[in-house]
Chain A
């Protein structure tokens, strides 16, 4: 799985190479976001300001993703998503870029 982190051993030494290898190699559809429920909502809401790479290099808990979404709105000039959409995006992020993914 791309973006997964080595936690032990040579994490720092090897990580750069591993992640660099995985950083591209995506189709241009949805900026390389994996398919699944919420892909469209996430792409639509999250790529106006930055690319998907800022998302795909992360592995966050639900709480941290929740904080990020709030931070985007409160500090980074993002619009408020309708709460239903926000939930779909949050679920998508945790599913694909959660601590275990």
Chain B
């Protein structure tokens, strides 16, 4: 059984790369500021961590572990995350290992993080956070978070959120971007109001066909006013009653690293449609064309292409809903089990805008399949629990393959599906390895 823990205590980080640890832990950017001034959220985080103000923060050399922390490194984790895989530290991109996806609702401390830009500073007054609705509407609106919370019906829904590039690491040749394996997905319990209700108050014009979302995250270049990413959804998806303006996650105020105090959750579509740190929704009379909507980003070839093809931009179309997929959350890969003894294999399955209708597992490399028990979702877009009992017939090496089928009969492929320049939509079957003794 693998016990390679991705968990990183602060001490370990400092040992390996002091400057990077500084950045991860405290937001100090020593590469751009050699004196490594502690600023804003970074300073607050360090003060919280050492339990008080640091009078000479300005003089503290970067890369030096504060001595108050040195004895308790294991208490300090990245944005409160534990057990997470660091795909990138700047911008922060964190992946959840499959076994930590086991709970029905993914805990915040294990929930994946995808950022295209920087993390904005935490706002001192979340209730005053303001959202602008403009564009193809009769009455442009400016609503504070407090108004969203009081003027519109509050709903709480369990919905899965998945990065469009989840599974990218499986494509060959390697497409550009974070090399996600399987864990750029999670199932949150989101609290907010329906985007539909807000758009109706603004009064959609008949010319409204698409939304364009803007957030407060700074572009990596530091250029003021330049959006890191600005994607959107067709107006039908925006008006779908499960598309929410979210301020709560798993019963807590939406954490900063997940877009707090306000974000979109447009479940079943690539995660980038669910803008974090939301400040504006521009209702458009055409498909939105902000950064992340054009070129090769978050787009798929209109017609299938061979692996490695150079696809002209005009032959690319915006990605729609995510495909049917599942994950094995128990047992962990490389676990030892006993031959001739039944054990449970389980996980979750989800299917973009659809419901999962059937779930199968195989322990003979896909030759035969066992139907798993499948639970219904608590609401649309909730991922669905599945369980199967399996007995491996003899000692040896086995792989468990998992295959979900959606309510239109579409199932996960055994091999990586159509290659595309940026590596989106890999929904091939999740597999784990087991040793039977």
Contact = CB atoms under 8 A, between A and B. Distances in A.
Interface of A: 5, 7, 10-17, 19-21, 23-28, 31-32, 47-51, 53-54, 57-61, 63-64, 67-68, 71, 75-78, 99
B167 interface: yes
B90 A59 contact: no
Contact of B431 (A13, A21, A53, A57): A13
B389 interface: no
Contacts of A26: 16-17
Q: Could you say which of B18, B178, B179, B223 has the most chain A C-beta atoms within 10 Å of its C-beta?
A: B179
Contacts of B432: 10, 13
A25 to B, nearest CB: 5
Interface stretch (B2-10, B157-165, B203-211): B2-10
Contact of A60 (B91, B169, B174): B174
B89 A53 contact: yes
Contacts of A50: 88, 90-91, 220
Interface string B151-192: 000000000000000010110111010110111000000000
A53 B169 contact: no
Contacts of A5: 169, 172, 174, 179
Contacts of B222: 49
A94 to B, nearest CB: 13
A24 B89 CA distance: 10
Q: Could you say which of A13, A28, A60, A63 has the most chain B C-beta atoms within 10 Å of its C-beta?
A: A13
Contacts of B181: 12-13, 15-16, 19
Given A16-B181, A53-B88, 15 more contacts: A5-B174, A10-B433, A12-B181, A14-B433, A16-B95, A17-B97, A19-B181, A23-B86, A28-B17, A28-B18, A47-B31, A54-B91, A54-B178, A63-B310, A68-B176
B380 interface: no
A31 B22 CA distance: 13
A1 to B, nearest CB: 14
Q: Is the interface of B mostly helix, strand, loop or mixed?
A: loop
A61 B173 contact: yes
A24 B13 contact: yes
Contact of A57 (B19, B23, B178, B310): B178
Nearest to A17: B4
Q: Could you say which of B95, B176, B308, B399 has the most chain A C-beta atoms within 10 Å of its C-beta?
A: B176
A18 to B, nearest CB: 9
B86 A58 contact: no
Interface of B: 2, 4, 6, 8, 12-13, 16-20, 23, 31-32, 63, 85-91, 95, 97-98, 167, 169-170, 172-174, 176, 178-179, 181-183, 219-223, 226, 291, 295, 308, 310, 333-334, 399, 428, 430-433
Contact of A10 (B13, B87, B172, B333): B333
A57 B176 CA distance: 10
B291 A53 contact: no
A99 to B, nearest CB: 6
Contacts of A31: 17, 19-20, 31
Nearest to A27: B17
A15 to B, nearest CB: 4
Nearest to A49: B220
A88 B43 CA distance: 38
A5 to B, nearest CB: 6
Nearest to B292: A75
A61 B144 CA distance: 48
Nearest to A14: B333
Given A5-B169, A13-B333, A28-B63, A58 B174 contact: yes
Contact of A77 (B16, B221, B431): B221
B144 to A, nearest CB: 31
A99 B308 CA distance: 12
A12 B176 contact: no
A6 B32 CA distance: 35
Nearest to B30: A28
B415 to A, nearest CB: 10
